[in-house]
Structures are given as C-alpha cells and as structure tokens.
Amino acid sequence: MKVPTVIRACFSVVIAFTVILLMPACEEDPTKSGLPPQRIEIESGNNQIDRITAHLPEPLVVKVSNQIGDPMMGIMVTFSTDDLNAEVNPPEAATDASGLASCQFRLGTEPGEQHVKALIAEDSTTFTITAEDFDCPEEEPSGFTLWPENHIYITTSHSSLLHGTGSVVIDYDPGSGAIVEVLETTKLLIDISFSPRGEMYVTTDLEVFKVDHGTKALEEEAFGTYPAAGPVELKPNTGGILSGVSVNGPFFVDCPSTGIVQISLPVSLQYVLPENLAEHPVTRHLYLITGQGPPTFLIYRMPWDGRFHASFLILHTSITGVRQAFPKGMCIDSTGTKYITVSGDDTYQRIVKVSYDGTVDDEFIDLFAIGGNARWGDIAYLTGKLYLIDTLNDRLGVFTDTGELDKFVEDKAFSTVSSTDERYGIDAIP
C-alpha cells in the first residue's frame, strides 16, 4: 500500500525531532569563549595614595582564576613597574590555594600616577597609585643624618648623668653595652620618638622639639605646641610628620608644621592612657589603649592611608583580666604583634602579648616572677628584643620576643631610685 506523501512527511518530521531530543546537549566550549585559559584580576591595594618614595602601607594583591572562576594555585605572577626609582618586592610570586599573589611597592620619585603591572602567561592587569609630592623638608628622604641604628634611645628625668633638674637623653648600644649621654636639658621631657627618616623628637607637657643631630641640642623653636598641658606620647608618621596622644585624645603635627591638630573622633574615649601609643612599622597604623579601666581595656586602631584622610578609630581587640593594674606602655613588631607592659601595686606585673589576629596572651612574661618587686613603664622593640626600664631598681630589662629573659642591665644612668613621678620615654629608630 502506498503511503500518502503528507503522512510520509509528518513521519519524517517526528523521527527527526525524536533524534534531536535523543542527542546529548552541547555544552559551550570554554576555550571558544574568547577568554584566556587563566585570568588575572586585582583583588586589593589599588588606588592607594602616598608620598613619593614611600612604601605603600597595603600590599598589591591579585587573583588568578580559570575561565569558570575557580582559583588557580601555583601560577607564577610577575610584578613590574616603569616608574622612575620605583620598586616592587618581590618581582615574582606564586599564587596560593586561594589564587592570590602579592607584592609590596615603593613609590618612585615623580609625583602623579604610578603603575604596577601584574603579568601571567595569558593575561595581565595594572594597579594605579597616586604619588603626592612632599609638603615640607621634614618629609624629604634625603639631605639628613640618621642617628645610629640598632640603638635604644631613652629620655629620663632621673639619671646619674643628670647634673641638675630636667632630663637627659641617653643612647644605649645593645651590642657593645655602651651608654652615652646625647644631651641634657632643664626641660622635663616626657617622651622620645623618631620620624620615618630618622630625626629625633622629644616632648614636654606642652611642646614638641626636634633634636639637632649636629649640635646634640634641642632646636630653639618648638616644632609644635599643644593646646593644653598633659602627658603626651609621640610617634611618627600619621597625618604628616608626627602624631601622638595626650589626655585630650590623639593628635597630629601637620606638614608644614602649624602646631598640634587635635583629631576629631566619632567615639567617646575614656581612660586614654597617653603612654600607650604604638605604630605598626610596616602599615604605619597607630594603636592606642583606652577603656573603662581595670579589669578591661581596649586597643583601638587608627588607620593610615598615606595622608591620614580619615579621622576615625577601629576597635581592634580587648585586654581583660588585668585586675587592679594598668597598661604602662606598648610597642609593635613588624608582624603586628603588640607587647604591652601591665603593672599594678601588687604582684601583677606582666608583659601581655596581643597577636595580629587579636589573640591575647596575658601570661606571656610574668615580670614579678622574673624580677621581683619592680616599677615598670614604657617599652620598646628592636630586632627581636623588648626593652623596658625598672625605675624602682635602676635597671634596664631586656627580654626576647619569645618570652625569655635576656638580661638585666643595672646602671644608674637609666634611672635613680625616686618617687613614682619619674618620667622617661624609650624608643628605637623605626
């Protein structure tokens, strides 16, 4: 029997449609999408602003992934820059399990936009950084003389080197053990600090003075003046040349210097402890301790963005369980670990360690168990060692950053037995 043409045609369509339905679905071939097999993208660190020749506070981070967005591990990334006298470190880095690789960047000597190129075999991306020129001579990285590095510098109001009332500045060389008087002044000095380029500054209750390296004397004119008297701690960098904290809160000395600029904060700070200010030597963030008093204190972070464009604090972590004791000083190593002297009227005398992730070790160093009854104060960090003065026993305590006693250096040049109003500051070149 002959099948009608219409029926044959319909039957053919059904068969063809059935074949189509039974065929496996076609997936889009990633290699034909037009995208490279591996892609590199900026993860963080772009569009930072800082001064020419400065090291950026935040690293430049890229992410390498495949075409469907999965991170690629072990891919070598090359970082490079064509800007004059700029530097990337390291120039090559392999991606981690999250596909991330990073470098640090030191800006070149030309103001304006500077660039860092991140390159893999199949793709590249470019960071853009804004470099600003210097505002005053104190920011220049050349034409100055550094004080000896790897030394500890101390200002004290009670010392066998002091011939009258006032204070002396001492240079202590941990390598040779030599103690040298830098200068003597009738002014009562509260603290000592160094700018990022190695200039020495000291403070009184009202003024900041620069120390002339050539004459070993205070410059005649004060570098800055406080709006109100009060104990002051000083650190370099944020907001211009220097920054610090007094009983009135944090401040900075702008550039060019026009005096002290008080920082307006959106939070209410109580129990500001002026001696407890420290600067992260890499990121240049400032940290200060405040709070309601024992047994709990808070550590706040003041971010650095190259010119201190933001006036705010970020809660970092808390120190609890310090009983009737008070933080007496703080320093930070290059990893961001904080070391805090905590001292009370009884046997509670400690160095508390706060790791970068906020973990608190309040048993890190038991100063009373090691050194007996003492009166500890401010603390400094230098190449794996912690330095602090016991003003009750006229000695310098040296501890390792692993929590071991290195030595006690007994010398009345550091301190002489006195009342609790003895003032001293301690620091090292950052």
State whether 210 and 357 are in the same domain.
yes
CA distance 114 to 129: 5
Q: Which two tokens stand for residue 398?
A: 């040296």
Query: Which of 35-44, 56-65, 190-199, 360-369 bottoms out in mean pLDDT, i.e. has the lowest?
Result: 190-199
Quickly state the pLDDT bin for 11 (edges 50, 70, 90).
very low
The whole-number pLDDT of residue 312 equals 60
Q: Is residue 254 part of a domain?
A: yes
Domain end point (choices 114, 133, 152): 133
Q: Is residue 169 part of a domain?
A: yes
Q: Burial letters for 285-315: b for 16+ Cβ neighbours within 10 Å, e otherwise? A: bbbbbbbeebeebbbbbbbbebebeebebee
State whether 115 and 160 are in the same domain.
no
State whether 239 and 116 are in the same domain.
no
Mean pLDDT, residues 349-359 taken together:
90
Mean pLDDT, residues 402-412 taken together:
95
Residue with the bigger pLDDT between 32 and 107: it is: 107
Is pLDDT at 73 greater than 90 in this prediction?
yes
Q: Is residue 21 part of a domain?
A: no
User: At CA 50, angle to CA 47 and CA 233, rounded to 5?
Assistant: 130
Q: Is residue 15 part of a domain?
A: no
Three-class secondary structure of residue 380 per DSSP: strand
* Tokens 């007994």 -> residue: 410
Q: Which two tokens stand for residue 37?
A: 């097999």
State whether 104 and 246 are in the same domain.
no
Domain end point (choices 99, 133, 167): 133
Enumerate the β-bridge partners of residue 39: 65
State whether 162 and 303 are in the same domain.
yes
Q: What is the CATH number of the domain that holds 411?
A: 2.120.10.80
State whether 158 and 96 are in the same domain.
no
pTM (two decimals): 0.76
Mean pLDDT, residues 35-56 taken together:
88
State whether 386 and 246 are in the same domain.
yes
State whether 123 and 269 are in the same domain.
no
Three-class secondary structure of residue 10 per DSSP: helix
Mean pLDDT, residues 359-375 taken together:
91
Q: What is the CATH number of the domain that holds 66?
A: 2.60.40.10
Residue with the bigger pLDDT between 357 and 88: it is: 88
Q: Is residue 22 part of a domain?
A: no
For 98, 279, 304, 379, 396, the CA distances from 234, given in Å and listed in that order, are 40, 10, 16, 13, 21
The whole-number pLDDT of residue 34 equals 62
State whether 78 and 158 are in the same domain.
no
CA distance 371 to 369: 6
Is pLDDT at 30 greater than 90 in this prediction?
no
Mean pLDDT, residues 126-136 taken together:
90
The answer to whether residues 41 and 101 touch, using CB atoms and an 8 Å cutoff, is no
The whole-number pLDDT of residue 15 equals 45
Quickly state the pLDDT bin for 10 (edges 50, 70, 90).
very low
What long-range pairs does 421-424 form, CB within 8 A, spacing at least 24? 422/156, 422/157, 422/158, 422/391, 423/156, 423/157, 423/167, 423/188, 423/189, 423/190, 424/154, 424/155, 424/156, 424/157, 424/158, 424/377, 424/378, 424/389, 424/391
Q: Is residue 29 part of a domain?
A: no
CA distance 209 to 222: 5
State whether 129 and 174 are in the same domain.
no
Strands 296-302 and 286-293 turn out to be antiparallel
Start-to-end C-alpha separation, the chain: 103
Q: Is residue 28 part of a domain?
A: no
Domain end point (choices 133, 154, 177): 133
Q: Which residues contact 156 (CB under 8 A, 6 or more apart)?
A: 162, 167, 168, 170, 389, 414, 415, 422, 423, 424
| Domain membership of residue 62 as a residue range | 36-133
Is pLDDT at 257 greater than 70 in this prediction?
no
State whether 350 and 289 are in the same domain.
yes
Of 105, 98, 104, nearest to 64 by C-alpha is 98
Quickly state the pLDDT bin for 157 (edges 50, 70, 90).
very high
Quickly state the pLDDT bin for 175 (edges 50, 70, 90).
very high
Residue type for position 59: P
Q: Is residue 412 part of a domain?
A: yes
State whether 146 and 192 are in the same domain.
yes
What long-range pairs does 180-184 form, CB within 8 A, spacing at least 24? 181/413, 182/153, 182/211, 182/216, 183/211, 183/216, 183/217, 183/218
Q: How many domains does the chain have?
A: 2
The answer to whether residues 217 and 224 touch, using CB atoms and an 8 Å cutoff, is no
